Structure 1
Amino acid sequence: MNTFPSIRIEGGIFSPDLLDQLLAAELPGQKASDFGLPSSRRLTDEIAALFADASQLWEVFQHRLERLPDTDVGTSVTRDSWMLPFLALLGYELRYNPRAYEVDGLTFAVSHRAGEDEEAPPIHIVGYRQELGRLAPTGRPRLAPHSLVQEYLNRTDHVWGIVTNGKTLRLLRDSTNVRKQAYVEFDLQAMIEERRFQDFAALYRLLHRTRLPRGMADAPDCLLEKYFQHSLEQGGRVRDRLRDGVEECIKILANGFLRHPENTELRNRAASSEQPAAS
């Protein structure tokens, strides 16, 4: 059973139990003060209030979306009525990028960044009716929204970024040395409409602005990177335990074969192979 039905961790970017560890406050940065709140404030109360606010924003957004013609992908209404205020609930003060970034002779039209600093993490917002994994039908974009942010991360010193169409939000990491896509996907529609508070609490604890770096320089020390490294170490320990378990199983099977009454010849061969060679 999936504990967090509206959240999907793809490509091993985080360990499967990271979300449970976040909710249990077993990882660094999970006190109220770590989110910029008064230490006397109960974090669960804050998250519950924000979930109520997000639900109201979603309802207004859906009403406005319904009024759009079918040919409108909804970029403006998605941005202004939903994603900007929603991300503000998570501590973001987005800045619009008036010009595309230029890297290695290529342009990356990432819509926003996560703060005033020019090196703040990239956040790309597209219309609700634009799929993250497909090229937009108009505008002749070079890359699909997800690929745009991923390639930008891979070609710069940015480590973390966000791409969203308002329905789905993905947290991406630089994957220069990874062959397959790796990201965390939040199904915002299911989270809000199905009242999945636990999923929203996990989103808040993982995606709040204080989790991301301020810019490129502090990216190795941000909380997201610490969670990523924690997952790598945890995965390494799991693999070590699996390897030890496999070795033990092989030994048990081998000893079982050797002890079988009909395997006298096998025992003799094993015994002779253990004899030291004559000098």
Structure 2
Amino acid sequence: MARKPISDMSAWPSLSLEGNLIAPAMIARIDQRDAPEQAPEDYAVRKGLTIREEISTAFRVGQSHFDAFAKLEAPSQDATRRFVAGFFKETFGFDDLAPAAAPLAMIASGRVPVVVVPPSETLDRRSPTLSVDRSRSPAFALQDYLNDSDDALWGIVTNGTHLRLMRDNASLTRPAYIEADLAQIFSTEDIASFAALWLLIHRSRFGAADTPATDCPLERWREAGSREGETARDRLADQVQIALKVLGSGFLEANPDLAAKLKSGEVNLTTWFNELLRLVYRLIFLMVAEDRNLLHPAKSKTEARALYAEGYSLAALRKQCYRAAT
């Protein structure tokens, strides 16, 4: 049986995706180690270990670093910076980190900028630490740097408890990033989310020093995901055309009066076509929302199935689902 395409991030409870950074389906391929450039040697895995074993070891090392950091009371900027430097080096292979001028805390080989603030600051709100010459959030500070730099295309911003992977993005009103809740990963032993994160942000994913910023697995994965999305959109156009023909023919066969009015011009053909097109896209919207589990919580789905089994009408099902959802 063909594997169902991944369309959301539910497989990784501690990760969240905003915008079109890397498609969930591509992240799933990366997580399954089915994407290009994912051989053990591509990740510089130590001899005698598999990628799975390397990730397992990295998880325990990272958890030890995080637990020590979490015990600090109100960690300072410097304490957070020291934690991030050690955590990145021993967990994700960043052995080339060097201090950098503000707003950066450090940078790897001049191509992977890292912005660090203490846990008391959130990534999307004004940062007292970084707002020296002007008001800005940690995420905006990194985005601004990436947009202005030709040498850096991807970067990371963190407050020690949350980590966000970002890319050069011309739009400041439509953010795009992958965020990891480190506290949740290590407190709940969420190895699935950690594994996906490790595969995504290991130092090797950002490319080697002295190569163009675009020459890295992350960028090639992003482009591959975009191409797959374009192919899906092309297929969707053909499927919409088929749906219009099938639904339109069915409506006309079931409604001879409508067919006669269209033929005589009493009903405008363009207006009727637009209504038909609107119906098709509403159906697509509902099907996508349902596929991503956005229509109703799990409880309402369970109750709906039970009611359906008992012979309730569709109207009764809709009412019951609405009550459960609200």
Q: Is TM (by shorter chain) over 0.5?
A: yes
Tell me how far apart the structure 2 counterparts of residues 178 and 76 of structure 1 sit (CA, whole Å).
Answer: 29
Is 1:258–1:266's contact at 8 Å kept on the other side of the alignment? no
Instruction: Render the CA deviation track for 1:236-260: whole Å, top value 9, x for unaligned.
Output: 1221222222211111111113324
Q: Name the amino acid aligned to 1:21.
A: R
Paired position in structure 2 for 1:162? 156
Q: How does 1:44-59 map to 2 (within 5 A)?
A: 44-59=52-67
Is 1:121–1:215's contact at 8 Å kept on the other side of the alignment? no
Task: Structure 2 unaligned segments of length 5 or more: list them.
Answer: 1-8, 266-326
The alpha-carbon deviation at position 138 of structure 1 amounts to 5.6
**Kindly tell me: are residues 207 and 256 of structure 1, through their superposed partners in 2, closer, same or farther at Cα, counting changes over 3 Å?**
same
Paired position in structure 2 for 1:149? 142
SS in 2 for 1:230: helix
The alpha-carbon deviation at position 50 of structure 1 amounts to 1.1
**Kindly tell me: are residues 216 and 10 of structure 1, through their superposed partners in 2, closer, same or farther at Cα, counting changes over 3 Å?**
farther
TM-score (norm 2): 0.72
**Kindly tell me: are residues 15 and 156 of structure 1, through their superposed partners in 2, closer, same or farther at Cα, counting changes over 3 Å?**
same
Paired position in structure 2 for 1:134? 125
Is 2:111–2:213's contact at 8 Å kept on the other side of the alignment? no
The alpha-carbon deviation at position 35 of structure 1 amounts to 0.8
TM-score (norm 1): 0.83
Tell me how far apart the structure 2 counterparts of residues 202 and 3 of structure 1 sit (CA, whole Å).
Answer: 10
Q: How does 1:1-279 map to 2 (within 5 A)?
A: 2-38=10-46, 40-63=48-71, 65-66=72-73, 68=74, 74-80=76-82, 82-88=83-89, 89-93=91-95, 94-97=97-100, 99-100=101-102, 109-115=103-109, 119-137=110-128, 140-141=131-132, 142=134, 143-157=136-150, 158-176=152-170, 179-214=173-208, 217-259=211-253, 260-266=255-261, 268-269=263-264
* Structure with greater helix percent: 2
Ranked by relative contact order (alpha carbons within 8 Å, sequence separation 6 or more), the top structure is 1
Give RMSD over aligned pairs.
Answer: 2.2
Equivalent pairs counted in the alignment come to 252
Task: Structure 1 unaligned segments of length 5 or more: list them.
Answer: 101-108, 271-279
Q: Name the amino acid aligned to 1:95.
A: A
